[in-house]
Amino acid sequence: MAKGTEIEKLKIQFLEYVEIERGRSLKTVENYDRYLTRFFGQSEVKKPKDITDEVVRKFRLWLNRQPVPTEHGKDMGTLKKNTQNYYLIALRSFLKYMMMRGVTSLPPDRIELAKVGERSLDLITAKELIRLLDAPSGKNVKEMRDKAILETLFSTGLRVSELCALPREVDLSADEMSVRGKGEKVRVVFMSERARSALTKYLGIRKDMDDALFVQVGNRARESGSLRLTPRSIERIIQTYSALAGISKKVTPHVIRHSFATDLLSNGADLRSVQALLGHAHIATTQIYTHVTDPHLKKIHQDFHDKGRK
């Protein structure tokens, strides 16, 4: 897309609006920029009126045919419907912005998202979870840090980005703390006694002065300008301990977040409370957990299934 075109100027104004007026994170702004730039470049859009139903249709067809490596890297798959929808959501938001500005273009309600299958949950068993939480058992700063990471994730249900952003100055005399999540929304999460104990031990032997709660240690810390752990670093730590715990499934920070939610619901917590603890904007997002945690359905199955052979 040529610099200085009408659509480029509007895109820059839109991204500034998303960052300032909408209060979205810089990561969201970067993603919107990438999605829109790809759409404009692929579709050769230079002005708002160039965005038509036919242009969007051709772009969606192009997206749907994009080859991507599969998980094992041997074969080529296609772009997932969820990923395709990210592009469409960014475009629809941009069209809404132009409509608000009185700029004539394709109406945003003409953008229909691709239908996706019901979201599946990546879960580990309660026994696997316990093995994972107990895997870091050493007394050095690295294993104490990793123990604190795992216990904090399970106690709070934090997203990995929220965990990485935690400050060192956490009040461990309290069993709660405020976190800033998606959309800059603040919510309260709670720390179990195990999480507070692990954090106390970890912070008690740290020698650095960094203001992040979870930081790099050892040689990598000395080589790096920033000590704060990244989401990718947390993912690698969890993968290491899941292997040590003998868990064959892929375990990520989000799997532990799933375990947090299913643990609460399985033990009788109501859906609205779990929604608030997870920081979900919509109850429908939280409802994905109900079909795996509803004890009533299990009881119905036990009481009424296959009675003819009993």
Q: Are residues 178 and 85 in the same domain?
A: no
How many independent structural domains does the chain possess? 2
Mean pLDDT of 151-170: 94
Selecting among 92, 145, 258, 280, the annotated active-site residue is 280
Residue 96 lies in a domain: yes
Q: Are residues 202 and 248 in the same domain?
A: yes
How far is the C-alpha of 5 from the C-alpha of 83, rounded, in Å? 27
Selecting among 182, 187, 194, 201, the annotated active-site residue is 182
* Domain end point (choices 75, 110, 145): 110
Q: Are residues 75 and 149 in the same domain?
A: no
Mean pLDDT of 130-139: 94
Residue 306 lies in a domain: no
- Number of residues that make up the chain: 310
Residue 270 lies in a domain: yes
Look up 280 and say whether it is catalytic.
Answer: yes
Residue 118 lies in a domain: no
Mean pLDDT of 209-230: 80
Residue 269 lies in a domain: yes
pLDDT at 88: 95
Look up 201 and say whether it is catalytic.
Answer: no
Neighbouring C-beta atoms of residue 233, cutoff 10 Å: 17
Selecting among 11, 159, 196, 258, the annotated active-site residue is 159
Single-letter code of the amino acid located at 162: E
Q: Are residues 92 and 174 in the same domain?
A: no
pLDDT at 143: 96
Q: Are residues 210 and 140 in the same domain?
A: yes
Q: Are residues 169 and 273 in the same domain?
A: yes
Q: Are residues 141 and 52 in the same domain?
A: no
pLDDT at 148: 97
Residue 73 lies in a domain: yes
Residue 231 lies in a domain: yes
Neighbouring C-beta atoms of residue 49, cutoff 10 Å: 13
50, 7 contact by CB (below 8 A): yes
Look up 291 and say whether it is catalytic.
Answer: no
pLDDT tens digits, one per residue of 205-219: 999 999 999 999 876
pLDDT tens digits, one per residue of 99-114: 999 999 999 999 998 8
Q: Residue 12: which domain range?
A: 6-110
* pLDDT at residue 63 is higher than 50: yes
Look up 101 and say whether it is catalytic.
Answer: no
Selecting among 24, 92, 145, 257, the annotated active-site residue is 257
Q: Are residues 278 and 148 in the same domain?
A: yes
136, 147 contact by CB (below 8 A): yes
| Pairing mode of beta strands 186-190, 67-69 | unpaired
Measured CA to CA in angstroms, residue 285 lies from 169, 271, 272 at distances of 32, 10, 11
Mean pLDDT of 138-156: 95
Residue 177 lies in a domain: yes
The model's confidence at residue 295, banded by pLDDT at 50, 70 and 90, is low
* pLDDT at residue 297 is higher than 70: no
Selecting among 97, 202, 241, 289, the annotated active-site residue is 289
pLDDT tens digits, one per residue of 247-279: 998 999 999 999 999 899 888 888 899 999 999
How far is the C-alpha of 159 from the C-alpha of 210, rounded, in Å? 22
Q: Are residues 158 and 86 in the same domain?
A: no
